[in-house]
Amino acid sequence: MRVSSIDLYSNDLLVTTFDVNRRDVRNPYILKGVTGLDADSIVPQFYGQGAESGSNFNDLVLEPREITLKIGLNPDYRLGHEMSDLRGTLYRAIASSRKGTIQLRFNEDAATVGAITGFVTKFEGPLGAKDVEVTITMRCDDPIFKSLYVASAIVSEFVSDTIVVTDPTSTSPHGFKLKLTFDDTLFSFLMQEQEIDPDWFFQIGYTFNAGDELYLSSEAGNKYAYRVRSAVTLQLMDLIVPGSMWPVMFPGENSYWISDTADMTFNEWYWYETHWGV
């Protein structure tokens, strides 16, 4: 991830932009240092075994991330600005909504390539120092950097019921969301690694009628499966077949075998790009 600037947001409002590659003397806030952006404390979590290979499957997860920003205050006295004004603006950003969170957005030129949200846990701004600066520490319970907008794939062609979806940007695994419409009656929805001798499968044991819509999400912390029929929603989480494993997208090319793709139309397949660190 290449970063040229970092935006600080509070309550979805821009507080300030920090220059990374150069220092703009006109900027009232100068970023003097930032820590906590690397992939530290990666922990493997076992969640199952491959049915064919017998290999252990592990989620690699990060512990909550702590990011520290060291910010120099640079008031424009010609405009009547004071140190206290700049410090007060940052203080107000700590909690300007009921959510109580702030967000850092990492930009490559004009495009935001990743963002992370957390709570301010420490604000240090000593008075009377020669070089006036403040240090803000934020705790991010979700430590993965994510894109603000979704990436998507057009799923319209299959080779022997196999779908290939490529994520060329992410550096860490992530879930995805999909919506599909059934064109005929099917007695279950089955997705797995490959048609013959799959290592993992995900199956919903439910009879779908023609016209039914299936909504599925395998995102961490936001998993769901439900059917919509004639504007009536039915939750399907309790009908997921025991032994099923939620499908995952990895950086690069991903293949999924889905039974009876000729009897369904894929309307949406999208995800948020994710990164271990900056």
> In residues, how long is the chain?
278
On whether the CB atoms of residues 204 and 227 are closer than 8 A, the answer is no
Buried b (16+ CB within 10 A) or exposed e, 103-128: bbbbbeeeeebbbbbbebeeeebeee
pLDDT at 128: 64
pLDDT at 165: 94
pLDDT tens digit at each of 278 positions of the chain: 789 999 999 999 999 999 998 777 788 999 999 999 999 889 999 988 888 888 899 999 999 999 999 999 988 888 778 888 899 999 999 998 899 999 999 999 889 999 999 999 999 987 766 568 899 999 999 999 999 999 999 887 788 899 999 999 999 999 999 999 999 999 999 999 999 999 999 999 999 999 999 999 999 999 999 999 999 999 999 999 999 999 999 999 999 999 999 999 999 999 999 999 99
Q: Any idea what the Cα angle at residue 67 is, between residues 87 and 248, rounded to 5°?
A: 140
- d(CA 82, CA 219) in angstroms, rounded, equals 45
pLDDT at 130: 59
pLDDT at 84: 86
0.85 exceeded by the pTM?
yes
3-state helix/strand/coil string of the chain: CCCCEEEEEECCEEEEEEECCCCCCCCCEEEEEEECCCCCCEEEEEEEECCCCCCEEEEEEECCEEEEEEEEECCCHHHCCCHHHHHHHHHHHCCCCCCCCEEEEEEECCEEEEEEEEEEEEEECCCCCCCCEEEEEEEECCCCEECCCCEECCCCCCECCEEEEEECCCCCCECCEEEEEECCCECCEEEECCCCCCCCEEEECCCECCCCEEEEEEECCEEEEEEEECCEEEECHHHECCCCCCCCECCEEEEEEECCHHHEEEEEEEECCEECCC
What structural domains and CATH numbers belong to the chain? 5-146 (2.40.30.200), 151-275 (2.60.120.860)
Which residue is associated with the tokens 């397949």?
269
Q: What is the per-residue pLDDT across 147-171, written as a single tens digit (0 to 9) for each?
A: 999 999 988 778 889 999 999 999 9
pLDDT at 156: 78
pLDDT at 76: 84
